[in-house]
């Protein structure tokens, strides 16, 4: 890890050089303004272009530092381990996340390149993410006032692994739901504020707006995906969220959900998504239950817990022989998870 510490990094994977230039123009001033606020000592973008070569040029001068990578950089940094970063998938965001962790950033935000600042108080966006990591251990039974019994002094500190932000505009639906909603539209209800997801309950992580504490990154790997590799796609962040929530519950950490919101401007093709997701949807019905039965309580770190979870993932085909998995996929996935964990040593 770098001798530097602290700071806030924003990580984005992209295949659209025109879009990422627009993205940086809108987000860079907001990230630069975060310097010196909420204890943030430095800021940077880590933009990974999912292509053989770099194809865009960051705005000059940029208000915030931009680290720009492509396929060539994965090979140079990870060497023989470079195979764990898939190409042609949003799961390639794992690479800039690792780079941000390696440079010592304390908070790592992931976004999609079609997500833009909210219309309402955009200057508070990053502050609202960081607020989740300052929650105390007292649940308020009423709003607006401190009820009788809340301590005046030390209220404890809730160890939060990540805050899962939400989005306005285009909802994040799977292919079947998006097709149904195209015929019978319904309004999406977004609850404002930040809520603690109760231990023992799952949630659906969408990587388009997430703020991770650095201690979560050894378990925040976005998994091997792609129709050719896995037989399906678009479950890299969903299953990453399963693993993170399992580790949080078993090791005494917490996950929060809600604000801040981004504006999500582009809808992916529901027919294409249906083709990509169909096998994953079938597997997911059993896989989440398999993850729930892992035993991680005796692990002493997030990295150790993730390594043990990788070994449990390897057992899925044997324990669920009727699951329609592509032969060898879960064994390969477990190996990739173990390699990812090995990048972090025993420090986290």
Is residue 15 a part of any domain in this protein? yes
- Please give the tally of structural domains in the chain: 1
pLDDT of residue 5: 58
Is residue 32 a part of any domain in this protein? yes
pLDDT in tens, 334-344: 999 999 999 99
pLDDT in tens, 235-288: 999 999 999 999 999 999 999 999 999 999 886 888 888 888 999 999 999 999
In the numeric block, which tokens belong to residue 136?
Answer: 């105390």
Is residue 149 a part of any domain in this protein? no
Is residue 3 a part of any domain in this protein? no
Q: CB 283: neighbour CB atoms within 10 A?
A: 24
**pTM score, two decimals?**
0.95
pLDDT of residue 2: 42
DSSP 232: B
Residues facing 263 on adjacent strands: 116, 168
Is residue 71 a part of any domain in this protein? yes
In the predicted model, what is the mean pLDDT of residues 127-147?
A: 95
Asked whether the beta carbons of 340 and 244 are under 8 A apart, the reply is no
For 264, the domain range is 8-137+156-342
Is residue 146 a part of any domain in this protein? no
- Residue with token string 């692994």: 161
CA dist list (Å): 168 to 80, 120, 132, 174, 211: 40, 11, 20, 16, 17
pLDDT in tens, 43-65: 999 999 999 999 988 877 778 99
| pLDDT at 103 > cutoff 80 | yes
* Selection from 247, 227, 237 nearest residue 329 by Cα: 227
pLDDT in tens, 206-227: 999 999 999 999 999 999 998 8
Is residue 147 a part of any domain in this protein? no
Q: For residue 229, what is the domain's CATH number?
A: 3.90.550
């Amino acid at each position: 890890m770098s001798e530097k510490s602290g700071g806030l990094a924003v990580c984005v994977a992209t295949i659209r050089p025109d879009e990422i230039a627009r993205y940086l123009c809108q987000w860079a001033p907001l990230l630069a303004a975060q310097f010196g606020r909420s204890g943030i000592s430095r800021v940077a973008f880590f933009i990974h272009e999912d292509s053989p070569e770099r194809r865009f040029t960051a705005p000059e001068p940029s208000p915030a530092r931009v680290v720009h990578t492509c396929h060539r950089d994965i090979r140079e940094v990870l060497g023989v381990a470079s195979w764990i970063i898939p190409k042609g998938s949003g799961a390639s965001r794992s690479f800039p996340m690792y780079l941000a962790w390696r440079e010592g950033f304390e908070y790592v935000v992931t976004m999609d390149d079609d997500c833009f600042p909210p219309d309402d108080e955009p200057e508070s966006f990053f502050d609202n993410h960081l607020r989740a990591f300052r929650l105390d251990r007292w649940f308020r039974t009423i709003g607006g006032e401190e009820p009788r019994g809340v301590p005046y002094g030390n209220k404890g500190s809730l160890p939060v692994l990540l805050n899962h932000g939400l989005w306005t505009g285009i909802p994040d639906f799977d292919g079947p739901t998006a097709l149904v909603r195209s015929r019978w539209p319904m309004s999406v209800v977004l609850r404002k504020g930040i809520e603690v997801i109760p231990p023992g309950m799952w949630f659906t992580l969408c990587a388009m707006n997430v703020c991770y504490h650095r201690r979560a990154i050894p378990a925040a790997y976005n998994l091997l995906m792609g129709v050719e590799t896995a037989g399906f796609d678009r479950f890299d962040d969903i299953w990453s969220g399963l693993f993170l929530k399992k580790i949080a519950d078993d090791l005494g950490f917490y996950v929060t959900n809600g604000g801040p919101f981004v504006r999500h401007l582009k809808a992916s093709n529901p027919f294409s998504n249906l083709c990509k997701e169909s096998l994953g949807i079938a597997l997911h019905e059993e896989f989440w239950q398999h993850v729930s039965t892992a035993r991680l309580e005796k692990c002493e770190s997030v990295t150790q817990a993730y390594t043990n979870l990788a070994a449990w993932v390897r057992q899925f085909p044997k324990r669920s022989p009727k699951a329609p998995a592509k032969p060898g996929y879960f064994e390969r996935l477990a190996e990739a998870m173990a390699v990812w964990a090995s990048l972090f040593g025993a420090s986290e």
